[in-house]
Amino acid sequence: MAPMLPALRGDTPSLADVLTGSFAAMQGLPSALGLPSVRSAAVILVDGLGASSLRERAGHARRLTAALPAGSATITVPFPTTTAAALATLTTGRSAGQHGLTGYTAIDPDADRVVRLLSGWDSTMRPREWQPHDTVFEQAGRAGMEAVVVGAERYRVTGFTDAVLRGARFEAQKSIDDRISTAVRLLREGGPRLVYVYIPELDMAGHADGIASDRWLSRLDELDGALAPLEKQVPDDAGVLLTADHGMLDVPPHRRRILAADDPLWVGVRHVAGEPRCLQLALDDPSHAVSVRDRWLEAEGARSWVVTRAEAVEAGWFGAMDDAVLPRIGDVLVAARGLVAYYDARTATPSALAMVGQHGSFSPEETQVPLARWGAFAV
């Protein structure tokens, strides 16, 4: 018998409420986070910072942990727990089933291929068609508020930026310290202004060496030191939130399941999308989804939830659904339940196989992230 499927709770604050809630606070409106009215607001997104990994290493993040309010220190990241989907949820307030960025990689049904949604945009992928909904930045602009994104220069002009960050002015800063200092300056200059800061360094360290590594701890130390200006320099009429797009698990080599080209599990599978902890399988014949699901369940059911797309949608995994998004989701999904990551030996690169920190599925380590508060939001 297949294990009971995970259900996503809709009655607790989530990543979808963070930027939308900050914008609401700037308008004097209520939100799921209960934020007070402010003139300006900033949201700092630390890629890959899970609540559990932060708790376990709290001694390296004293400023950050001091800014976590009792009883409301964490929020939930919607499925799938991966950056492309999560950041689109953050900046639109919508589910992956609506904004259409359904994984690290997704099925492009029009071109019969798999595309990377962070960096794989080409001339045939139109960001405003893939993600047609207004961003919070566009809404802020129409309300007479300036929206500013602070990040590394390499993110200034990309398809992904156009899909999820459009409507904001971009300010490039190299270091974590410079990005947070810039956010504080923007809040102090006047407003109203909505600021978004992106910090990818912890995620990069976690993927390469793991969240238990010295490299990851060094990045956490660096982040915590950079937070110093938030303690005393945020104006009284501005608020700051810090959160993350997902957490991580360290997957050791013996838990990485590498499926050979002739593995029977690939029979009938046309494309493999998603990520190692949440495969999305597009089939040669979608009418065979149940039989492919059952084959994978027999082999991997002890380690993963295996469902058809219809079952995933019915269970609410992707939230509210737009019809145009359905074909971008695999006909069969394999979402890791245990400490496992899956690789296709035909396409896996050495760098992918060497990846330690992993995410994409439903574990608390992946779905629970911190929500720290400074300035008016700390009240």
Tell how strand 40-46 and strand 238-243 pair up: parallel
Taking the C-alpha atoms of residue 369 and residue 379, their distance in angstroms, rounded to an integer, is 20
Where does 253-355 sit in CATH, by number?
A: 3.30.1360.180
What are the backbone dihedrals phi and psi of residue 146, each rounded to the nearest 5 degrees, phi first?
-80, 135
Q: Which of 376, 331, 361, 326 is nearest to 97 (CA)?
A: 326
- Taking the model in full, what pTM does it have? 0.96
Domain ranges of the chain: 15-94+133-248+362-378, 253-355
Residue 3's pLDDT is 58
Q: What is the dihedral of CA 45, 50, 51, 52, to 10 degrees?
A: -170
Q: Which architecture does CATH list for 15-94+133-248+362-378?
A: 3-Layer(aba) Sandwich (3.40)
- Tens digit of each residue's pLDDT (9 = 90 or more) over 173-232: 999 999 999 999 999 998 899 999 999 999 999 999 999 999 999 999 999 999 999 999
Taking the C-alpha atoms of residue 365 and residue 359, their distance in angstroms, rounded to an integer, is 9
Residue 9's pLDDT is 63
Quickly count: other Cβ atoms within 10 Å of residue 110's Cβ.
Answer: 11
Taking the C-alpha atoms of residue 319 and residue 314, their distance in angstroms, rounded to an integer, is 9
Taking the C-alpha atoms of residue 239 and residue 67, their distance in angstroms, rounded to an integer, is 12
Mapping DSSP to helix (H, G, I), strand (E, B) and coil, where does residue 111 land?
coil
What are the backbone dihedrals phi and psi of residue 6, each rounded to the nearest 5 degrees, phi first?
-65, 145
Partners of 283 in the beta sheet? 269
What tokens appear for 53 in the block?
């990994």
Cis ω for the linkage preceding 80 (within 30 of 0): yes
- Tens digit of each residue's pLDDT (9 = 90 or more) over 60-100: 999 999 999 987 899 999 999 999 999 999 999 999 999 99
Rounded to the nearest integer, the mean pLDDT of the chain is 96
11 pLDDT higher than 80: no
- Tens digit of each residue's pLDDT (9 = 90 or more) over 108-124: 999 999 999 999 899 89
Quickly count: other Cβ atoms within 10 Å of residue 227's Cβ.
Answer: 22
Read off the pLDDT band of 1 (50, 70, 90): very low
Q: Are 256 and 341 in contact (CB under 8 A)?
A: yes
Per-position DSSP letters for 284-330, written without gaps between them: SSGGGHHHHHHHHHHHHTTTEEEEEHHHHHHTTTT-S--GGGGGGS-
8 pLDDT higher than 70: no
